[in-house]
Protein backbone atom coordinates (compact mmCIF):
# COMPACT_ATOMS: atom_id res chain seq x y z
CA UNK A 1 0.00 0.00 0.00
CA UNK A 2 2.59 2.58 1.15
CA UNK A 3 5.06 1.15 -1.34
CA UNK A 4 2.63 1.80 -4.20
CA UNK A 5 1.91 5.45 -3.35
CA UNK A 6 5.67 5.97 -2.96
CA UNK A 7 6.18 4.65 -6.49
CA UNK A 8 3.64 7.28 -7.64
CA UNK A 9 5.52 9.96 -5.65
CA UNK A 10 8.88 8.94 -7.16
CA UNK A 11 7.32 8.98 -10.63
CA UNK A 12 5.86 12.46 -10.02
CA UNK A 13 9.21 13.75 -8.75
CA UNK A 14 11.02 12.40 -11.81
CA UNK A 15 8.55 14.10 -14.16
CA UNK A 16 8.78 17.33 -12.22
CA UNK A 17 12.59 17.33 -12.25
CA UNK A 18 12.63 16.74 -16.01
CA UNK A 19 10.07 19.56 -16.54
CA UNK A 20 7.56 17.16 -18.04
CA UNK A 21 4.77 18.73 -16.01
CA UNK A 22 3.34 19.34 -12.55
CA UNK A 23 4.03 17.29 -9.40
CA UNK A 24 1.66 14.44 -10.13
CA UNK A 25 2.16 10.69 -10.43
CA UNK A 26 -0.10 7.66 -10.66
CA UNK A 27 0.18 3.88 -10.48
CA UNK A 28 -2.43 1.32 -11.54
CA UNK A 29 -2.44 -1.96 -9.68
CA UNK A 30 -4.19 -5.29 -10.20
CA UNK A 31 -4.05 -8.04 -7.55
CA UNK A 32 -1.22 -6.14 -5.86
CA UNK A 33 0.89 -6.07 -9.04
CA UNK A 34 1.82 -2.88 -10.89
CA UNK A 35 0.24 -2.64 -14.35
CA UNK A 36 1.29 0.92 -15.25
CA UNK A 37 2.94 4.04 -13.89
CA UNK A 38 2.80 7.61 -15.19
CA UNK A 39 3.61 11.19 -14.35
CA UNK A 40 2.06 14.41 -15.60
CA UNK A 41 3.34 15.24 -19.12
CA UNK A 42 1.29 18.34 -19.95
CA UNK A 43 4.43 20.43 -20.65
CA UNK A 44 6.61 17.90 -22.46
CA UNK A 45 3.83 16.54 -24.67
CA UNK A 46 2.07 19.92 -25.06
CA UNK A 47 -1.14 18.10 -24.21
CA UNK A 48 -3.49 19.66 -21.65
CA UNK A 49 -5.05 16.25 -21.01
CA UNK A 50 -1.75 14.51 -20.23
CA UNK A 51 -2.47 14.18 -16.52
CA UNK A 52 -0.79 11.33 -14.65
CA UNK A 53 -4.03 9.44 -14.08
CA UNK A 54 -5.10 9.64 -17.76
CA UNK A 55 -1.71 8.38 -18.96
CA UNK A 56 -1.71 5.58 -16.36
CA UNK A 57 -5.18 4.49 -17.52
CA UNK A 58 -4.13 4.50 -21.19
CA UNK A 59 -1.04 2.43 -20.43
CA UNK A 60 -2.91 -0.02 -18.19
CA UNK A 61 -5.58 -0.56 -20.84
CA UNK A 62 -2.91 -1.18 -23.47
CA UNK A 63 -1.04 -3.49 -21.13
CA UNK A 64 -4.12 -5.55 -20.21
CA UNK A 65 -5.68 -5.34 -23.69
CA UNK A 66 -9.06 -4.16 -22.43
CA UNK A 67 -10.89 -0.90 -21.67
CA UNK A 68 -12.57 -2.25 -18.52
CA UNK A 69 -10.24 -1.80 -15.57
CA UNK A 70 -12.79 -2.80 -12.92
CA UNK A 71 -10.29 -5.26 -11.46
CA UNK A 72 -7.73 -2.45 -10.93
CA UNK A 73 -7.06 0.22 -8.31
CA UNK A 74 -5.33 3.56 -8.83
CA UNK A 75 -2.76 5.17 -6.55
CA UNK A 76 -2.34 8.86 -7.29
CA UNK A 77 -0.33 11.53 -5.48
CA UNK A 78 -3.28 13.96 -5.57
CA UNK A 79 -7.04 13.68 -5.59
CA UNK A 80 -8.02 13.33 -9.27
CA UNK A 81 -9.29 16.39 -11.13
CA UNK A 82 -12.80 16.13 -12.68
CA UNK A 83 -11.37 15.01 -16.06
CA UNK A 84 -9.34 12.22 -14.44
CA UNK A 85 -12.16 11.27 -12.09
CA UNK A 86 -14.41 10.90 -15.15
CA UNK A 87 -11.74 8.81 -16.91
CA UNK A 88 -11.47 6.61 -13.78
CA UNK A 89 -15.27 6.17 -13.87
CA UNK A 90 -15.22 5.30 -17.59
CA UNK A 91 -12.45 2.78 -16.87
CA UNK A 92 -14.64 1.35 -14.06
CA UNK A 93 -11.81 1.53 -11.56
CA UNK A 94 -13.45 0.96 -8.18
CA UNK A 95 -10.86 2.28 -5.73
CA UNK A 96 -8.82 5.50 -5.65
CA UNK A 97 -5.98 5.95 -3.17
CA UNK A 98 -4.71 9.54 -3.10
CA UNK A 99 -2.26 11.62 -1.11
CA UNK A 100 -3.20 15.30 -1.21
CA UNK A 101 -6.63 16.89 -1.55
CA UNK A 102 -8.10 19.15 -4.23
CA UNK A 103 -7.76 22.08 -1.79
CA UNK A 104 -4.05 21.38 -1.23
CA UNK A 105 -3.48 21.06 -4.99
CA UNK A 106 -5.21 24.44 -5.48
CA UNK A 107 -2.74 26.07 -3.08
CA UNK A 108 0.09 24.80 -5.31
CA UNK A 109 -1.55 26.60 -8.27
CA UNK A 110 -3.48 23.72 -9.82
CA UNK A 111 -7.09 24.70 -9.26
CA UNK A 112 -9.32 21.72 -9.91
CA UNK A 113 -11.85 22.91 -7.36
CA UNK A 114 -13.33 25.57 -9.66
CA UNK A 115 -14.17 22.83 -12.18
CA UNK A 116 -15.82 20.79 -9.42
CA UNK A 117 -17.73 23.95 -8.43
CA UNK A 118 -18.94 24.44 -12.01
CA UNK A 119 -20.17 20.82 -12.10
CA UNK A 120 -21.91 21.31 -8.75
CA UNK A 121 -23.59 24.44 -10.13
CA UNK A 122 -21.92 26.64 -7.52
CA UNK A 123 -19.95 28.60 -10.11
CA UNK A 124 -20.65 29.54 -13.74
CA UNK A 125 -18.30 28.28 -16.44
CA UNK A 126 -16.40 30.75 -18.61
CA UNK A 127 -17.37 28.46 -21.48
CA UNK A 128 -20.32 29.10 -23.79
CA UNK A 129 -22.58 26.24 -24.82
CA UNK A 130 -24.76 26.39 -27.96
CA UNK A 131 -26.92 23.63 -29.36
CA UNK A 132 -26.66 23.28 -33.16
CA UNK A 133 -27.96 20.67 -35.62
CA UNK A 134 -29.71 18.76 -32.86
CA UNK A 135 -31.86 16.77 -35.29
CA UNK A 136 -28.86 15.56 -37.30
CA UNK A 137 -27.06 14.62 -34.12
CA UNK A 138 -30.11 12.82 -32.75
CA UNK A 139 -30.21 10.86 -36.01
CA UNK A 140 -26.64 9.77 -35.33
CA UNK A 141 -27.67 8.50 -31.87
CA UNK A 142 -30.59 6.65 -33.43
CA UNK A 143 -28.22 4.98 -35.92
CA UNK A 144 -26.12 3.76 -32.99
CA UNK A 145 -29.25 2.54 -31.23
CA UNK A 146 -30.26 0.59 -34.34
CA UNK A 147 -26.79 -0.87 -34.93
CA UNK A 148 -27.10 -4.60 -34.31
CA UNK A 149 -23.40 -5.35 -33.86
CA UNK A 150 -22.58 -2.51 -31.44
CA UNK A 151 -20.28 -3.18 -28.52
CA UNK A 152 -21.25 -1.29 -25.38
CA UNK A 153 -18.64 0.02 -22.99
Ligand X SMILES: Nc1ccnc(=O)[nH]1
Quote the CA–CA distance of 72 and 38 in Å, as a whole number: 15
Residue 66: CB minimum distance to ligand X, A:
23
Residue number with CB closer to ligand X (69 or 84): 84
List the alpha helices (DSSP H) in 18-148.
52-64, 82-90, 102-107, 113-119, 134-146
Give the footprint of ligand X on this chain (CB under 6 A). 22, 24, 40, 51-53, 78, 80-81, 84, 105, 110
Give the residue nearest to ligand X (CB): 51
Q: Is 11 in the active site?
A: no
Residue number with CB closer to ligand X (61 or 79): 79
Residue number with CB closer to ligand X (106 or 137): 106
Residue number with CB closer to ligand X (28 or 52): 52
Q: Of 53, 126, 139, 143, which one is the catalytic site residue?
A: 53
Non-local CB neighbours of 111 within 8 Å, separated by 6+ positions: 105
Non-local CB neighbours of 90 within 8 Å, separated by 6+ positions: 153
Sheet holding 95-100: strands in order across? Answer: 33-39, 25-30, 72-78, 95-100
Quote the CA–CA distance of 94 and 48 in Å, as a whole number: 25
Where b means 16+ CB within 10 Å and e means fewer, 72-94 reads bbbbbbbbbbbebbebbeebebe
Residue 88: CB minimum distance to ligand X, A:
11
Indicate which residues carry an active-site annotation: 53
Amino acid sequence: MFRLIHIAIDEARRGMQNNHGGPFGAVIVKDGGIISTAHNEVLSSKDPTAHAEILAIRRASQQLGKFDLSDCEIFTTSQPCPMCFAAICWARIKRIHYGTTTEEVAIAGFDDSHIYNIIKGEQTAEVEFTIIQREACLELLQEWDNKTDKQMY
